[in-house]
């Protein structure tokens, strides 16, 4: 065998690994571009043109209610598409979820207002939101699994950060797009300006689709398929009966991360404009800067998990976020400047969310066996999303109203959520270096730290 013959397959493998990481990043970017567009529109637009009301708080709650619907159906999407991914392959399912999610988002750009068609407007929006949620329920999970299974074991934390980076690139694009269109006069923004970012989603869909269609199947999935009879594989049953302890770790950490993230990403804009009466552009600008910093911090924290382990980094994120909750709201409530708001958002997201989110692709993938990894990751992650991701803005709005427009109740809510996440991580296993081709829980646990 010549040197060129030996080098070529290695070069091809490296090139394909990079393509997988790019596919994971771009797909996650689309998911969260779409999902964050909706969250921002729920805070700034839908409560005015889709859910009109003489009571501003009731209208905002109705708008955030449709935001929550997307999260409530995500576990169902995780089960449906996750099961298909574990039985028939990661690649096919990720192409399907991309199309489902993207088409529903483009459809939202065409939804008429309440003034044009009456009650049909919120009905159409809810249907599209539910379809979007089904596709999104498996998008990050599938991207995380694919990135982790194609990564070298010693660099799995770093490479596994790719879909997490994609999430914040997507949020950055969405918040940036909304920061631009909010510069329009308010009547133009509400009439047509808000629709532009939704329609632009079609461009991201095209790029992501081209990349994903060129991928091969995960080697860990193929190895597991060779070792298992199809009749023996029951992903949903296995993650519920045999791998539920891993699921509790995912649920707990995801709860903490969701609460901290969605206070910044969805609730903050409404709180700044509705309660503190600040400019409608303050929130989107702060989140734009915060997401940019977070996208840069994620690879560092992912790399750190390869050096010190998944647990220490994730645990540090929950402790920091709990400690920062009250200082965060004190600054926002008392220093009413865009710079102050931006700084606390950067710290909360770049450090707190960064530490909790960066390990997840590697950490969550290493918690489950190859035969049920996609299902387990998507199901338990999205169950936490249904409970906390979708409800966090509603809970926060209600807590502020109950406390007489003060934020201390929300700060306590953050602390409690981070305690849940910290306990789950502390009681869970360290997973760094596990063999992702393992098909039984016993085999998976025995492989910890072996870097096979």
pLDDT tens for each residue of 308-349: 999 999 999 999 999 999 999 999 988 888 899 999 999 999
Which among 87, 209, 78 has a CA at the least distance from the CA of 142? 78
Mean pLDDT computed over 191-213? 85
Percent of the chain at pLDDT exceeding 90: 30
**CB-based contact 417:259 (threshold 8 Å):** yes
C-alpha of 124 from chain center: 24
User: Does 389 score more than 80 pLDDT?
Assistant: no
User: Does 352 score more than 60 pLDDT?
Assistant: yes
Whole-angstrom distance, CA of residue 157 vs CA of residue 302 = 5
The tokens of 257 are what? Answer: 């991360």
Helix (H) or strand (E) holding 175: helix 156-181
Whole-angstrom distance, CA of residue 106 vs CA of residue 11 = 38
Greatest extent of the chain over all pairs of C-alpha atoms, in Å: 78
Whole-angstrom distance, CA of residue 197 vs CA of residue 202 = 10
Task: Provide the pLDDT confidence category of residue 2 given band limits of 50, 70 and 90.
Answer: very low
Torsion of CA 167, 340, 408, 67, to 10 degrees: -30
Query: CB count, 10 Å around CB of 429?
Result: 18
Q: What is the pTM of this model?
A: 0.84
C-alpha of 193 from chain center: 26
Whole-angstrom distance, CA of residue 161 vs CA of residue 369 = 20
**CB-based contact 413:259 (threshold 8 Å):** yes
Mean pLDDT computed over 145-172? 88
Q: Which residue has 């382990």 as its token pair?
A: 309
**CB-based contact 49:274 (threshold 8 Å):** no
**CB-based contact 235:83 (threshold 8 Å):** yes
Task: Provide the pLDDT confidence category of residue 4 given band limits of 50, 70 and 90.
Answer: very low
Q: Where are the alpha helices (DSSP H) in 353-391?
A: 354-357, 360-367, 373-384
Which among 446, 254, 261 has a CA at the least distance from the CA of 366? 446
User: Does 233 score more than 70 pLDDT?
Assistant: no
How is 84-118 classified by DSSP, letter by letter? HHHHH-HHHHHHHHHHHHHHHHHHHTTPPPHHHHT
Mean pLDDT computed over 179-190? 85
**CB-based contact 306:204 (threshold 8 Å):** no
Percent of the chain at pLDDT exceeding 70: 90
Task: Provide the pLDDT confidence category of residue 452 given band limits of 50, 70 and 90.
Answer: very low
**CB-based contact 397:259 (threshold 8 Å):** no
Task: Provide the pLDDT confidence category of residue 373 given band limits of 50, 70 and 90.
Answer: very high
Report CA torsion sign: 199, 205, 206, 207. positive
How is 337-354 classified by DSSP, letter by letter? SHHHHHHHHHHIIIIIIH
For 59-86, write each residue's pLDDT tens digit.
666 666 666 677 788 889 888 988 888 8
What 8-state DSSP symbol labels residue 276? Answer: S
Whole-angstrom distance, CA of residue 279 vs CA of residue 45 = 14
C-alpha of 387 from chain center: 14
Whole-angstrom distance, CA of residue 414 vs CA of residue 248 = 19
Using only C-alpha atoms, what is the Rg of the chain? Answer: 21
User: Does 54 score more than 60 pLDDT?
Assistant: no
Q: Which CATH architecture has domain 18-217+233-446?
A: Up-down Bundle (1.20)
Q: Which residue has 């360290």 as its token pair?
A: 430
Task: Provide the pLDDT confidence category of residue 256 given band limits of 50, 70 and 90.
Answer: very high
- Exposure string of 264-302, with b = 16+ CB inside 10 Å and e = fewer, is bbbbbbbbbbbbeebebbbbbbbbbbbbbbbbebbbebb
Mean pLDDT computed over 263-278? 81
Question: Under the phi-then-psi rule, with left for phi > 0, alpha for psi from -120 to 50, and beta for the rest, what region is 53?
Answer: beta
In sequence order, the 6+-apart residues with CB closer than 8 A to the CB of 125 are 46, 50, 66, 108, 111
Report CA torsion sign: 202, 207, 210, 216. negative
Whole-angstrom distance, CA of residue 105 vs CA of residue 199 = 8
User: Does 8 score more than 50 pLDDT?
Assistant: no
Residue that wins the pLDDT comparison between 315 and 129? 315
As a residue count, the chain comes to 452
Which among 202, 183, 71, 45 has a CA at the least distance from the CA of 133? 71
Delimit the domains of the chain by residue range.
Answer: 18-217+233-446
């Amino acid at each position: 065998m010549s040197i060129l013959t030996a080098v070529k397959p290695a070069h091809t493998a490296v090139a394909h690994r990079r393509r997988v990481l790019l596919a994971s990043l771009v797909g996650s970017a689309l998911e969260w571009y779409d999902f964050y567009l909706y969250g921002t529109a729920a805070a700034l637009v839908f409560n005015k043109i889709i859910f009109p009301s003489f009571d501003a708080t009731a209208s905002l709650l109705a708008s955030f209610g449709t935001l929550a619907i997307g999260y409530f159906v995500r576990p169902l999407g995780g089960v449906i598409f996750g099961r298909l991914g574990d039985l028939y392959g990661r690649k096919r399912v990720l192409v399907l979820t991309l199309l489902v999610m993207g088409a529903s988002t483009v459809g939202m750009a065409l939804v008429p207002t309440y003034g044009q068609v009456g009650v049909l407007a919120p009905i159409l929006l809810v249907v599209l939101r539910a379809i979007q949620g089904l596709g999104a329920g498996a998008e990050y999970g599938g991207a995380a699994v694919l990135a982790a299974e194609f990564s070298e074991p010693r660099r799995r934390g770093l490479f596994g950060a790719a879909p997490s980076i994609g999430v914040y690139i997507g949020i950055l694009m969405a918040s940036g797009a909304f920061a631009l269109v909010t510069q329009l006069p308010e009547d133009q923004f509400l009439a047509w300006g808000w629709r532009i970012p939704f329609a632009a989603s079609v461009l991201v869909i095209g790029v992501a689709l081209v990349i994903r269609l060129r991928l091969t199947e995960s080697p860990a999935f193929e190895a597991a398929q060779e070792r298992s009879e199809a009749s023996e594989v029951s992903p949903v049953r296995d993650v519920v009966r045999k791998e539920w302890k891993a699921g509790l770790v995912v649920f707990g950490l995801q709860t903490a991360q969701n609460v901290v993230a969605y206070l910044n990403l969805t609730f903050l804009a409404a709180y700044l404009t509705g309660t503190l009466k600040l400019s409608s552009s303050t929130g989107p600008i702060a989140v734009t800067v915060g997401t940019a910093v977070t996208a840069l911090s994620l690879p560092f924290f992912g790399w750190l998990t390869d050096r010190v382990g998944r647990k220490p980094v994730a645990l540090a994120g929950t402790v920091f976020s709990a400690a920062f909750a009250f200082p965060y709201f004190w600054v926002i409530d008392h220093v009413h400047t865009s710079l102050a708001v931006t700084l606390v958002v950067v710290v909360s997201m770049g450090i707190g969310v960064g530490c909790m989110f960066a390990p997840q692709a590697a950490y969550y993938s290493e918690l489950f066996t190859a035969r049920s990894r996609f299902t387990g990751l998507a199901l338990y992650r999205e169950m936490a999303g249904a409970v906390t991701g979708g409800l966090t803005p509603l809970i926060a709005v209600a807590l502020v109203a109950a406390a007489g427009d003060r934020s201390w109740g929300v700060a306590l809510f953050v602390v409690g959520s981070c305690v849940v996440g910290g306990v789950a991580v502390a009681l869970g296993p360290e997973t760094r270096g596990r063999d992702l081709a393992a098909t039984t829980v016993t085999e998976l646990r025995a492989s910890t730290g072996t870097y096979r």
